[in-house]
Structure 1
Amino acid sequence: MVRKLSTSSFYIQLYQIIDDRSSDQIISWNKSNNNSFIVWDLKKLRSNILPKSSSVLGKNMTEFIAKLRSHGFKTVVKGPGELEFSHDDFERGPLMKKMMVKALSERIERFDAQIKSMKCRLKAKEASLKVENLFQNLRI
């Protein structure tokens, strides 16, 4: 469950940084594609933006790019010092509906799996206690 929480945080924090008009010189939405963003200045992203964000996005450029790829983003090489990243479900818009629904669904699935696992462990513990009680009763 912790991983999915950080996954949702990743998308939300990335969206907020891209959507922040004050950082448009460094990182911004692609004007012609609602499903991609461009890092215009890799050095400034590394020195000005990544250190201010939590480690959810990565501590350095290598980690940032690796996290983007692990979350399904594709890299489109632009000019020197520029990179474009695209993702079919990561859209410019007020709520990123597709992405958030997907992240929440994954979180619910993982939570359900954890509950099932806890129930199984509880049943095993109860069975173990019953067996232990039976052995204690036999000693009397």
Structure 2
Amino acid sequence: MVRKLSTSSFYIQLYQIIEDRSSDQIISWSKSNNNSFVVWDLKKLRSDILSKYSSVLGRNLTEFIAKLRSHGFKTVAKGPGELEFSHDDFSRSPVMKKMMAKALSERIERFDAQIKALKCRLKAKKASLKVETLFQNLSI
């Protein structure tokens, strides 16, 4: 289960970065293929993106490429200083946007459920401590 969560986190984070119009000079969808994206500026990818999202995408370019390959991405020939990666099931289509939004929503719901469970455990622990304190203070 942990692997599945980290895999979906990878796809979601990558998709959000590629969709972010402010990063188009660094990384964006390919103009010729809906199932690929292009890294336009490797130096800025390292400094501006991988430094922020290293826990999910990798700490450096080598780790990032290794993670892409392990998640089914293939390298597409591109010019010097640019990299293009494609994946048959990863696209900028409206269906993919809905899938990513749903996956993100499910992550938020799981996180909310974990917080609710922790709050319940904390409340139960406090109640238990209160009862224990009451018993200790009884002088029979």
**Normalising by structure 1, what TM-score?**
0.67
1:91 paired with 2:91, answer yes
**Normalising by structure 2, what TM-score?**
0.67
How many residue pairs match? The answer is 101
Task: Give the equivalent residue in structure 1 for 2:63.
Answer: 63
- Bigger RCO (CA 8 Å, 6+ sep): 1
- The offset of 1:96, in angstroms, is 1.9
Gaps of 5+ in 1: 104-140
Provide the C-alpha distance between the structure 2 equivalents of 1:46 and 1:14, rounded to a whole number of angstroms. Answer: 14
For residues 127-138 of structure 1, what are the structure 2 equivalents within 5 Å? none
* TM-superposition CA deviations, 1:25-55 (whole Å, max 9, x none): 0000001211000000001001111111141
**Conserved in 2, the CA contact under 8 Å of 1:57 and 1:67?**
yes
Gaps of 5+ in 2: 104-140
Provide the C-alpha distance between the structure 1 equivalents of 2:21 and 2:34, rounded to a whole number of angstroms. Answer: 15
* TM-superposition CA deviations, 1:63-82 (whole Å, max 9, x none): 00000000000001311110
**Conserved in 2, the CA contact under 8 Å of 1:90 and 1:98?**
no
- Structure with the higher fraction of residues in helix conformation: 2
**Conserved in 2, the CA contact under 8 Å of 1:90 and 1:99?**
no
- Equivalent pairs: percent with the same residue? 88
Runs of 4+ residues deviating >6 angstroms: 97-100
CA RMSD of superposed structures (Å): 2.0
Task: Give the equivalent residue in structure 1 for 2:30.
Answer: 30
Provide the C-alpha distance between the structure 2 equivalents of 1:79 and 1:71, rounded to a whole number of angstroms. Answer: 23
Task: Give the equivalent residue in structure 1 for 2:9.
Answer: 9
